[in-house]
Structure 1
Amino acid sequence: MSVTSTADMTRTGGAVLRRGLGILGQGIAAEPRLFSISVAGSVLHGALLVGNAFVIGEIVGRVVTPAFAEDRINTAALALAAAVLLAISGLRVAAMFARRLAAGAMMFRLQAGYRERITRRYLELPLAWHQRNSAGSLLSTATSDVEAAVQPFAPLPLAVGTVVMLVGALGSVLWTDWVLGLVGLVLVPSLFALNIFYSRRMSPLQMRAQRLRAGVAEIAHESFDGALVIKTMGKEAAETARFAAKVGELRDGLIRVGRLRGLFDPVMDTLPSVGTVAVLLLGTWRLSSGAITVSQLVSVAFLFTVLAFPLRAIAWLVGDMPRGVAGYDRVHAVLAAEGSTRYGTEDLDRAVPATLDFEDVGFRYVDGEPVLRDVSLTVPRGKTVALVGPTGSGKSTIASLAVRLVDPDSGTVRLDGADLRTLTAEALARSVALVPQLPFVFDDTIRANIALDRPAADDAEVWAALRLAQIDSFVAGLPESLGTEVGERGTSLSGGQRQRITLARALAGKPRLLILDDATSAVDPRVEAAILGALRSAAGEGASILVVAYRRATIALADEVVYLESGRVVARGTHTELLATVPGYKDLVTAYEKAEALDD
């Protein structure tokens, strides 16, 4: 970071403090009961600490000093002093327990609330937004940034309570002796000024460290996801160096934070000690002149020894604010992000397969060229339609539009005559299922992966779906059958097995429209033919099918083929008709066949 930018950020220390107080106000408004309990405990603890100073002063003046002077101990007075000190200690423990328990509950409730809101927002935001934000960054926001945003709430009740303690201690010193009080009037503003200086210096360091944490999470997540590529390409050293460089930046940033804190803490400890020495020196003079008693001198000296505590508590709060503001800004950026997949109120009948219509649909991704231009096509009820086209022609985008992962920029996508945007989320999820080219399998059992906690998907339905996906015999042969754990992302399964498990998951929901986005590309052609044959034979009873296809055997099973080029529908008809009349279609299918032959 340049000197100029650091200076600019330092000048914003006051703004960070103001924004941090605003964030704290929002949290207090969200959890007023827990905040009140924790502050009450903190105030009681501070008041008892101030009172303890006067009790100790009285014990020294009335019990300890006479014992030395008379060379005898007043047992009754000593027992009473011990009982009072024990009672105060017990009350302090109870107050501290109440403060910590309530403050912890408040912080973790706010943390859970933010994470729930962020998760819901992730689900609401459109696919285009997710494509602009890395998974590592989103993961960092939901974990590290949320923790940073709520961290200031841990010392907040203590800081509020110790303000009362600070005022009480300083007022008590002034009430006891105004000369000794002058030391406090010099010391306390000095400590406050030191806190402000510390906050302004710490703010840019904490904010930079929080950004670096997110950067480390992004690289780590990307490295884990791309482990196979990294290993097969022999790029372990390069990836390690890339990660080490970012971790090194974070390390250096945190060292700067620690260095500043390491300088600040000793100074904060030293100043009250200097004040105590000054009080003892002045107090000895005041005591010799008869202006104060021994009890008063001891009480004031004890109060000065604890003056650092309330200011340290305030420093903890002020020190956590820069990181808290940085974390909150990242959290708020997600919660306030523009765009949302809003659902309607219309429901649909589940009795029959669905009809899908695209009417003059146009679509482009953010800051990109149009992907689809005036696309019109129909998947008739109970029929199978194949989408064929070269790479980049818009096939997968059509699949995403059909399940409303994205909405069209122009035109309309209809299901049984209803605009998808007018349907409820439940109606859409019940009616349409997408099986993507890249299958995702949860780190769970086969049963859980397919049923997905749907009440209707009992074991009988799961087995029926597995049979349609042509993987029932494989699952039946496993030691735990449906209870077999498949590992993270299905690492114990082959690519074709993962695709078939994903297909069975979609079929278990009994969708009325099934969309296969090259969902059997990793499956043996004979198995693929069996799967599509089973789906086709059941289509009239269960689902209409829209399939993104490459293999001739797959395409030939379709009732109609829609051929795309550059985001436009160029031709439609049966496979035989397009072979005879569309040169581009013939060349593409022939090229796929030659590639398959070479693979075989």
Structure 2
Amino acid sequence: MSTASQPVPRLAADRAVLRRGLKVVWSGIREQPKPFSVAVLGSVLWAAATVGTAGAIGWVTDTVIEPAVGEGRLTTVGFWTIIGVLVAVLVVNVVGVILRRVYATVAGFNLQAGYRRRVTRQYLRLPLSWHHAHPSGQLLSNAHADIEATWQVFNPLPMAIGVIFMLVIAGTMMVVVDPLLAFIGLLVFPGLFAANLVFQQFMSPRITRAQQLRAEVAAVAHESFEAGLVVKAMGREDEEATRFRSSTHDLRDALILVGRTRGTFEPVIEAIPTLGTLAVLGAGTWQVARGELDAAQVVQMAYLFSILAFPVRALGWVLAELPRSVVGHDRVQHVLRAQGAMEHGDVRLPAEGPPARAALEQVVYTHEGEDEPTIRGVTLTVEAGSTTALVGPTGSGKSTLVNLSLRLVDPVSGVVRLDDVDVRELARGVVPSVATLVSQQTFMFDDTVRGNVTLGEDATDESVWEALRVAQADGFVSTLPDGIDTVIGERGGSLSGGQRQRIALARAVWRDPRLLVLDDATSAVDPSVEQAILAALREARAGTTVLVVAYRMATITLADQVVYVEHGRVVDQGTHDELVGRCRGYADLVHAYAREAAERAAVERGEEGL
């Protein structure tokens, strides 16, 4: 490609960004018409008052100041005339500025709040498979920095519209006063626009780059915080510090480049109106000497140019924000237009009542980005009121089957039913009201024990303590400083892993679900505590259907039905004794579980040599 042809794509790209940016702005105006209209009205008042100040100064100079200078004194009437005129103009200016700034802010923050709600709702609608493919740092950036960048343009936009109105009024006034001075002075504005356009061509990619690097720094920081335990346990503090330092240095360099560009262009842009004002004063002095103008008119013209220099920059600010708006809007739309959002019907099931029945029929599921299916034509029924244990080697698909049964993900093919109803036909919120999951990776909120059990719902102390008792958590909770009102810290940092699991179990028990799903939910507690939990669960929740991913014999032997899974397929199902007698893979696996449990118990008793 020749050098001469290179600017064409750049110009086309700039125009495309401008068009897309204006479309983003127009969509925001349509969503916030009232506050934006008031902001524009305030901007027009401000523009009229600003230009009117020049007219007022010219009128006061001509009718009050010049006669006072000629007479050698200023009368009281003249004094109050000056004060009254200037105060009137000032009041209109202040009212306009207040309306412009307040309602521009209202429109901008309303848009930000609305889009944050949309993005958050979309996050909740999208299946886990989509979230697995998008790191949490990126999702945080989409919901915060990208939305802020999209609608930041609404801060200078009303002012820029007022500037256009101001230029029309000022230009008309200049031509009326003196066409020659108007022509000389108005040459300043093409120069300002040209300088601003060149400025934006240099600034836009630099600002966009800085915005992207801000998101990267946030992502690295978030990942480091989330992995705090791993970082400290593996002694990776220095490596994480180096990784964060590299990201922050990139951001620093990008921001320095932005500052250098601004420092290079701004003095030039500031100088252009000053040169224009000097040119008007020079030409005006010549006109006064010839008797074609009086001093008041020259003062009025010079003041107009001096007050227009700064507001015209608002047009440049809008141009600077448009590329950021386009980048932010594209990143947000990537979330809002993401495919895979779960569809819901209008069928409802009772949250309270008899145990639920769950069934999977020829279900196939493939993780995003993988070619081979994880679940291969599984048919499985969990009868109402029964306890079914899913058993299988690591990676066999047990947790995926749990996610499918709770409709955390949808199958590629096949049907998942709850009480004989296809879960895709159920209304939003029905599955969580009927079924509850307790996973191995328990999450605790930075809240009290009560808040973590009830998740903010109203509850009596008795019901909370009963749920804790079933989960074998009442003992250690009673020793906490404030009992169930003790704040347990971020992610339950003040508790052990087993204590967090028991509170998570209490959270599920408190809801009295018709289907309780346990995904290795007692792995962090002692076997004796696990047996006590399972026994209390069966006693207190005899009417609940239980689906449990099991690794311990104590759990497996309590199940009415055991389903053995390998490579995403159901190999066999029946009672524990039946499977031990006829399924070689199952027998080998549970015997390995038993040996591991015996060895662990021996170590705990100090009998390592046995």
Q: TM-score range by the shorter chain?
A: over 0.9
Question: Post-superposition shift, 1:403?
Answer: 0.7
**Alignment counterpart, residue 428 of structure 1, candidates 428, 431, 436:** 431
Preserved CA contact (<8 Å) 1:357 1:413: yes
Corresponding residue for residue 189 of structure 1: 190
Give the fraction of aligned pairs with identical amino acids, expressed as a percent. Answer: 49
Q: Distance in 2 between matches of 1:537 and 1:242?
A: 52
Deviations 1:385-443 (A, max 9, x none): 10010011000001100110001112111111111111122321111111111000111
Corresponding residue of 2:374: 371
Moved more, 395-404 or 76-85: 76-85
Cα offset, 1:473, TM superposition: 2.1
CA distance in 2, matches of 1:73, 1:351: 92
Q: TM-score when scaled to structure 1? A: 0.96
Whether the 8 Å contact between 1:67 and 1:74 is mirrored in structure 2 is yes
Q: Partner of 1:529 in structure 2?
A: 531
Unaligned runs of 5+ in 1: none
Residue 391 of structure 1 aligns to which amino acid in structure 2? T
Q: 2:470–2:540: 8 Å Cα contact kept in structure 1?
A: no
Is 1:438–2:441 an aligned residue pair?
yes
Alignment map for 1:218-297 (pairs within 5 Å): 218-297=219-298
For residues 208-228 of structure 1, give each alpha carbon's deviation from its aligned partner in whole angstroms, at most 9, with x where no partner exists: 222212211111111111111
Distance 1:272 1:318, change over 3 A: same
Deviation at 1:7, TM superposition (A): 10
Mapping for residues 69-108 of structure 1, pairs under 5 Å: 69-108=70-109
* Aligned with residue 496 of structure 1, among 495, 498, 506: 498
1:450 to 450, 453, 456: 453
- In structure 1, the residue matched to 2:174 is 173
Q: Quick one: distance in 2 between partners of 1:420 and 1:580?
A: 36
Give the counterpart letter for 1:439 in structure 2: T
Q: What residue identity is the alignment partner of 2:107? A: M
Please state how far the C-alpha of 1:367 moved relative to its aligned partner.
2.2
SS of 1:390's equivalent in the other structure is coil
Structure 1 SS opposite 2:187: helix
After superposition, the Cα gap between the structure-2 partners of 1:5 and 1:223, relative to the gap in structure 1 and judged at 3 Å, is farther
The one-letter amino acid of 2:520's match is: D
Match of residue 464, structure 1, among 463, 466, 491: 466
- By how many angstroms is 1:476 displaced? 2.2
Contact 2:374 2:567 in 1 (8 A): yes
User: What letter matches 1:465 in structure 2?
Assistant: A
Amino acid at match of 1:38: A
CA contact (8 A) 2:185 2:277 kept: no
TM-score (norm 2): 0.95
Q: What CA distance in whole angstroms lies between the structure 1 residues aligned with 2:547 and 2:452?
A: 23
Shift in Å, 1:580: 2.3
SS at match of 1:425: coil
Equivalent residue, structure 1, for 2:354:
352
What whole-Å deviation, never above 9, does each CA across 1:361-385 have from its counterpart, x for those lacking one? Answer: 1111112121111111111111101
Q: Kindly state the Cα deviation for residue 581 of structure 1 after the two structures are TM-superposed.
A: 2.0
Residues 449, 486 of structure 2: 8 Å contact kept: yes
Shift of 1:238: 0.9
1:417 is the counterpart of 2:420: yes
Q: CA deviation at 1:597?
A: 3.6
CA displacement at 1:535 relative to structure 2? 1.6
The answer on whether the counterparts of 1:163 and 1:310 sit within 8 Å (CA) in structure 2 is: no
Aligned equivalents of 1:149, 1:554: Cα separation in 2: 53
Q: Determine if contact 2:35/2:103 at 8 Å carries over to the other structure.
A: yes
Measured after TM superposition, the shift of residue 359 of structure 1 is 1.2
Tell me the CA shift for residue 459 of structure 1: 2.7
Which residue of 1 is the match for residue 22 of structure 2?
Answer: 21
Residue of structure 2 equivalent to 1:41? 42
The one-character-per-residue Cα deviations of 1:465-517 (angstroms, maximum 9, x if unpaired) are 11111111222222211111011111011101111111111111111010000
- For residues 165-215 of structure 1, give each alpha carbon's deviation from its aligned partner in whole angstroms, at most 9, with x where no partner exists: 111112211111011011233111111112222222222112222221221
Give the partner amino acid of 1:524: D
Residues 244-265 of structure 1: CA deviation (Å, up to 9, x unaligned):
1111111111222222222222
Q: In the alignment, residue 454 of structure 2 is paired with which amino acid?
A: A
* 510, 513, 520: which one aligns with 2:512: 510
User: CA distance change for structure 1 residues 120 and 526 in 2, over 3 Å: closer, same or farther?
Assistant: same
Contact 1:382 1:539 in 2 (8 A): no
- How far 1:463 moved relative to its partner? 1.8
Alpha-carbon distance between aligned partners in 2 of 1:113 and 1:270, rounded to the nearest angstrom: 41
Please show how residues 63-74 of structure 1 align to structure 2 within 5 Å.
63-74=64-75
1:206 aligns with 2:207: yes
CA RMSD of aligned residues (A): 1.8
Consecutive unaligned residues of structure 2, counting only runs of 5 or more, are: 605-610
SS of match in other structure, 2:365: strand
Q: Secondary structure at the match of 2:429?
A: helix
Indicate the SS of the match to 1:370.
coil
Greater CA drift, 519-528 or 189-198: 189-198
Residue 220 and residue 30 in structure 1: after superposition, are their counterparts in 2 closer, same or farther (change >3 A)?
same
Deviations 1:94-140 (A, max 9, x none): 11111111111111111110110110000011111101100011011
